[in-house]
Structure formats: structure tokens, C-alpha cells
Amino acid sequence: MIKIVGGIDLKMSEFEYKTTKDVKVPKRLIDQVIGQEEAVETIKKAAKQKRNVLLIGEPGTGKSMLAQAMAELLPREQLEDILVYPNPEDPNNPKVSVVPAGEGKKIVMNYKRRARAQEEKKNSLMLFLIITIIFMGIITKEFLASIIAAALVFLAMQHIKTKESVQVPKLLVNNENRKKAPFVDATGAHAGALLGDVRHDPYQSGGLGTPAHERVEPGMIHRAHKGVLFIDEISTLKMKTQQELLTAMQEKKYAITGQSETSSGAMVRSEAVPCDFVLVAAGNLDALKGMHPALRSRIRGYGYEVYMRNTMPDTPENRKKLVQFIAQEVKKDGKIPHFDRGAIDEIIREARRRAGKKGMLTLKLRDLGGLIRAAGDVARSENSKLVRREHVIKAKKHARTLEQQIADRYIENRKRYSVFKSKGYEIGRVNGLAVIGDRSGIVLPIAAEAVPSQSKEEGRIIATGKLGKIAKEAVQNVSALIKKYTGRDISNYDIHIQFLQTYEGVEGDSASVSVAAAVISALENIPVDQSVALTGSLSVRGEVLPVGGVTSKIEAAAEAGIKKVLIPKSNYKDVMIEKHYEDKVEIVPVETLGEVLEHVLVGKKKKTLIEKMQKVGSIIPKDMTKAIPH
Ligand SMILES: Nc1ncnc2c1ncn2[C@@H]1O[C@H](COP(=O)(O)OP(=O)(O)OP(=O)(O)O)[C@@H](O)[C@H]1O
């Protein structure tokens, strides 16, 4: 049976619960990971065989969550404590020993007890000597001499160390009472924190110093012994540190020495300290460039590489998983109410929108979690016992990302100074559409001017604004098309193109259709309808190819007062605009540059151009000439 819930078809079987309170949240972290089935399988396999893993993907898709889940899967019974002892033969080479988890603390306590007993014995002896000396002084009436002698004995005893004096070892790594294998997040750690260090000692001589073994500090690689060492943005580690990390992985032990050459700690080098960890490295695709090739090869040779998913198919099963995700986030937050059906439905709708592709749900779940929390906060502030649909809608309005806020302000300013127009006709000026950041659309006006070339040689393409390179490329790519469409050779012209008031962070590579339209309008002196905006990538054959972010681009156009938006036909199914924009704009899917020109150009000359295009046999549909308005 199908039930329509707020415009979304949901099978009743998917929705057998009233609120997220009824949804069971799995105990194990690995079972809480949503939509990354391959990664989950790999992590399970890697945990069993103790293999390293490289997780590559976008932020907030669950990389660190998987690493933590792996630590839960590693066997706890193998955990060990690590102790560091003084070395009487070479104090600068402290000794290291490994004992089962929980034993380390007992050993240290034992040593401390023995040291205390020894100290007490020494103190009793000292007290006995002092009392005896003072007593002798009273008998012999040599008070002054006896007090001086007692003081001397006191001082001497302070500095005398018996031959077998007990030196307490230091517990370097303590795994007592640990319920699961350690998970150590070494993201952004400097060399000392990662590989261990030996503290500086200002009092190195005269027996006043701190013994070397007490100054040894474990690194994260040692703390992660028998567990997981997680390093996000692995490429930010220095090459030298990556090399050392690799050595530690190969040897499964790594001696600790002072990291600063000028410190007295650099004189100390412990015996090799065990560091038998599994490395889970993470980053985005760019991270691979900054990664030491040998380290990558080590992971590939002794482990797995996983490319994280950004989206999952919009199936009943996956929607159910998203409901589980909402329940998980509510439970984890602990401060927000549960979600009712309407609110769940709205979150699923948003997951669809954010996926940007028809039939998909987003897996950038950290961001979606942000919306869940924001909606929970709205419900809380309204003293609601449950989060309802309207709370999610309100949260979407208020919890806008920085980029969205910048885009809002950008639109405001542009409206105020009329940088873009949404009415009237202009030659050589087209409303392109672009995306800032992840998913914020903006209108990007493009202006073109064509003048006959001054030089005897070829004309030039002069592109200004921050996206100049893209504009140049777009014109070069479509020069053949322009010749075909207009019969004009652009090499006879100097063509000036400008992305008006271009702003840092704008992605402009989907503007080639707009650039071509602006240039053709300028060359042919045909006005462009300013109530139309467009996006699309143009092939050298004149086809309009799909681009990203159509939904947010259309919404931005609607926001700016644009009445018609042209999008690539193959993107039509990706459109998921919010309901309140639906009546504001007409969305027109287009396949060819001919169709684009048909929609954006106006006036008498347009007919002539289209006819010319027909003659040169361009790909404009034949029956289109009939529809040309004057
Ligand atoms: N696949 C997922 N399943 C369930 N929850 C997820 C998933 N991905 C992200 N989350 C939620 O988002 C939070 C942050 O995710 P996580 O830190 O694992 O992302 P990441 O990929 O490591 O990102 P970054 O690289 O920025 O650190 C998680 O604690 C969890 O609440």
C-alpha cells in the first residue's frame, strides 16, 4: 500500500513507527554506519586480518566513524601495557618492557611500595643517628659540636643513594580497564606527539636531574598499540614524519628520542617501544598527492583503499536507514526531542535535494546531522515534545551554511546596485548561473563585447574578472560553433568577456553555454532577454551537456526575480526545488545551443540569425523557426 506523506511516496512498511523513538539504534558503531556498505565490509575484513586502510572521500561521510568502529572490532584480549625502566649501565638508553593489560599499574605500585619502604628505612636510620649524636652531645656537654654533626649527617643522608636503591619504572601506556582496543586520532599531530618525545631537563648534572626514563613520553603511535591510529588529512603530515610513520608500521616498534635537537632530551633514546597499530588514513582525493608514495604503497600492499560514497539510491531500504540515522543523531545529541513522521519525511526530502541527482539520497551525513540538530533546537525553543515538519522547515531557513549566507548577502547587494537585471533586453549580456561552496546558487551576469580586430593578425579574446580563464576556454571551444551558427569568424574580432563582479569561490565551469550566448548576442547585435537565466556546459558540437547544482541554481534565479531558467535536458530529472519557488520560475530543458538562442535572444534579427543557422545546416530543430516571436 502506498501512502502519500507530504508529497513523497512512502510504503507503509517503511513507516511502521510513529516517531524515531520507536526506531532501534544498533549497539555497535559499525552497524550505525549508513550507506557505506563496501567500506563497512572492508573495515570488518581489515579488523579481522589487522590490515591498514586508506579512506578517501568527502568530509562528513563517516571516515572517522569507520575508524572508531574498527577499534571496536579489534580483539580486546591482546591489549598490553608498556613500561619504561631506568638502565643502570646506560642511563640515556632506558629499557622497555611489555606486560598484559592491567599488569603495568600493579608493577609500578609494587615498585613504589618498595621505594617507600626503602625510604622509611633510610629515614629511621637517619633519625637513630641524629638522636644518638645529640644524646652523646648531652653526655659529653659538646652541644654545638653534636648539632653540627647531626646537621652534617642529615645532609649526607639526603644525598646518599644506596647501591640497590629502588627506581620506579614509568607506565608509558596503560590499557587497564579498557573495554575496547584503543582508537587514537592523530590528525594534525606534530612529530613529537605522533612519534614520542623525551622532555628537556635543565638540571642534568649533580644528581639533581629527573632520571631519563621518567622524561620519556609516548607518542600516539605507541598509545595506539594493538588498536587503531587514525590520521585524517594524511597529506598534511611532513614527508619526514610520514617516512618515520612508515618505519614504525614496518617494524611494529619505534624507539623514543627527544625531537628537539637542542634539548637534553635528544641525548636520550629508549629501547624500541612496541607500536603494533592498524593505520586508518583518510583524506579527500587531493590528499593522495601529498602522501608519501612508500606509505601509500604500504597501505595498498598490506591493506585496502576505499573510495567513500556521496550518495545512495533512494530505495525504501535506504530511506529506512536514514530514519535510523535520525534516531542515532537524536540519541547521540541527548538534548533534542524525537522526530515525528512529518519531520522524518522532510529530512528525507532534504537528503534527496542535497544529493543533487534524481533517485539518490545524500550521504554527507555530518551536514544532514547539523540540520537534524538545528530542527531539534527549534522544537526545543518552542517547547514541543516532538520535532515536527515545520521545525525542520524553519531550521532549513535559519541554519544556513556560511556559503548560503554569503550567497544571500551577495544577491541582496547585487539587487541593491542592480548588478544583474531580471527585466528588459540587453545586447551581449546574459544571466549565467553558478554555485558557491557546496550547494549555494548565484546569478552570474556575463557581459560580452565584440569589436573588429585592430591588429592585422588574429583577433584576441580578452577575458577579465576572476573567471577569465574559463571564459577564454569557453569562447575557444565554441569558436567553430559560432562560425557555423553565425557565419562569422571570431578571429576577425577582439572579443571582450567579463563575469560581472565575480566573487571568490564561484565555480564557473558550467557557464560555457552562457558565454557562447553572450558572445553571439554581441557579434550579431541581437538583444538578450534579461528575465532568462541559463546554465549548461557546451560541447564543441553545440550540445548542452549536464552540470552540477541545478536545483540551487534555479532557486537562486527565482530568488533574483528571473522568470525562466534554461537547464540541460539531461539535468531535468535532478530538479528538486522547494515548493515555494515552483510558481516563480519556468524551467526549460534544452539540448542544443540553437534551442538556447531561441529562448534567450529577442527581436527581428533573431529570425535572420535562425534562418542563417538553418542554411548552414546547424543542429537547430527545423520547426523552431515557426515559433520565432518578433
Ligand atoms: N555514513 C555515516 N553513517 C552514519 N553517520 C554518519 C555517516 N557519515 C557521517 N555521519 C555522522 O557525521 C558525523 C561526522 O562524521 P565523520 O567525522 O565520520 O566524517 P569524516 O568523513 O571523518 O569527515 P572529516 O573528513 O571531515 O573528518 C558522525 O559522527 C556521524 O554522526
Instruction: Find all residues with CB under 8 Å of 509, minimum gap 6, and list them.
Output: 470, 537, 547
pLDDT at position 509 is 65
Phi, psi of 526 (to 5 degrees): -110, 130
For residue 32 and ligand 1, the question of a CB distance below 6 A is answered with yes
Ligand 1: atom nearest CA of 67 is 18
For residue 364 and ligand 1, the question of a CB distance below 6 A is answered with no
Residue nearest to atom 30 of ligand 1 (CA): 366
Between 450 and 262, whose confidence is greater?
A: 450
Candidates 264, 270, 479, 510; catalytic one: 510
CA 369–ligand 1 middle distance (angstroms): 9
For residue 230 and ligand 1, the question of a CB distance below 6 A is answered with no
Q: 410-627 has which fold?
A: Ribosomal Protein S5; domain 2 (3.30.230)
CA 62–ligand 1 middle distance (angstroms): 3
The ipTM (two decimal places) reads 0.96
For residue 60 and ligand 1, the question of a CB distance below 6 A is answered with yes
The angle subtended at Cα 128 by Cα 126 and Cα 134, nearest 5°, is 100
pTM of the model: 0.74
Ligand 1: atom nearest CA of 329 is 31
Ligand 1, pocket-test mutation among 40, 65, 230, 324, most atoms within 8 A of CB: 65
- Quote the radius of gyration of the chain (alpha carbons, Å): 36
Is the pLDDT at 178 greater than 70? The verdict is: yes
For residue 361 and ligand 1, the question of a CB distance below 6 A is answered with no
For residue 36 and ligand 1, the question of a CB distance below 6 A is answered with yes
pLDDT, tens digit (0-9, with 9 covering 90-100), for 336-377: 999 999 999 999 999 998 888 888 999 999 999 999 999 999
pLDDT band at 330 (very low <50, low <70, confident <90, very high): very high
CA 191–ligand 1 middle distance (angstroms): 26
Is the pLDDT at 618 greater than 60? The verdict is: no
Closest CA to 363 of 326, 281, 441, 308: 308
510 in catalytic set:
yes
Ligand 1, pocket-test mutation among 58, 61, 321, 361, most atoms within 8 A of CB: 61
573 in catalytic set:
no
Domain with CATH 3.40.50.300 in the chain: 36-101+174-308
Closest CA to 487 of 608, 604, 597: 608
Closest CA to 536 of 576, 495, 578, 572: 572
Output DSSP code: residue 504: T
CA 68–ligand 1 middle distance (angstroms): 11
CA 344–ligand 1 middle distance (angstroms): 20
pLDDT, tens digit (0-9, with 9 covering 90-100), for 504-517: 656 666 788 888 89
Find the mean pLDDT for residues 204-219. 76
Candidates 553, 569, 606, 618; catalytic one: 553
pLDDT band at 626 (very low <50, low <70, confident <90, very high): very low
User: What residues pair up with 307 in beta bridges, in sequence order?
Assistant: 56
Residue nearest to atom 29 of ligand 1 (CA): 65
Of all helices (H) and strands (E), which one includes residue 38?
helix 37-49
pLDDT band at 238 (very low <50, low <70, confident <90, very high): confident
CA 506–ligand 1 middle distance (angstroms): 26
CATH superfamily for 36-101+174-308 is: P-loop containing nucleotide triphosphate hydrolases (3.40.50.300)
The C-alpha atoms of residue 88 and residue 76 are separated, in whole angstroms, by 35
pLDDT, tens digit (0-9, with 9 covering 90-100), for 97-132: 999 988 989 998 998 888 888 888 888 888 888 888
Burial tier of 437 (Cβ tally within 10 Å: 0-12, 13-18, 19+): middle
pLDDT, tens digit (0-9, with 9 covering 90-100), for 367-411: 999 999 999 999 999 999 999 999 999 998 777 777 777 777 776
Instruction: Give the mean pLDDT of the chain.
Output: 84
Find the mean pLDDT for residues 9-18. 58
Residue nearest to atom 13 of ligand 1 (CA): 366
pLDDT band at 313 (very low <50, low <70, confident <90, very high): very high
The C-alpha atoms of residue 618 and residue 630 are separated, in whole angstroms, by 21
CA 363–ligand 1 middle distance (angstroms): 9
Ligand 1: atom nearest CA of 57 is 21
pLDDT at position 199 is 83
Least confident of 9-13, 228-232, 327-331: 9-13
The C-alpha atoms of residue 556 and residue 581 are separated, in whole angstroms, by 10
CA 488–ligand 1 middle distance (angstroms): 54
Is the pLDDT at 554 greater than 70? The verdict is: yes
For residue 431 and ligand 1, the question of a CB distance below 6 A is answered with no
For residue 325 and ligand 1, the question of a CB distance below 6 A is answered with yes
For residue 366 and ligand 1, the question of a CB distance below 6 A is answered with yes
User: What residues pair up with 229 in beta bridges, in sequence order?
Assistant: 184, 279
Closest CA to 375 of 410, 349, 339: 339
Ligand 1: atom nearest CA of 282 is 25
pLDDT at position 331 is 94
The C-alpha atoms of residue 579 and residue 342 are separated, in whole angstroms, by 16
Ligand 1, pocket-test mutation among 29, 64, 230, most atoms within 8 A of CB: 64
For residue 331 and ligand 1, the question of a CB distance below 6 A is answered with no
Q: What is the CATH number of domain 312-399?
A: 1.10.8.60
Domain with CATH 1.10.8.60 in the chain: 312-399
pLDDT band at 65 (very low <50, low <70, confident <90, very high): very high
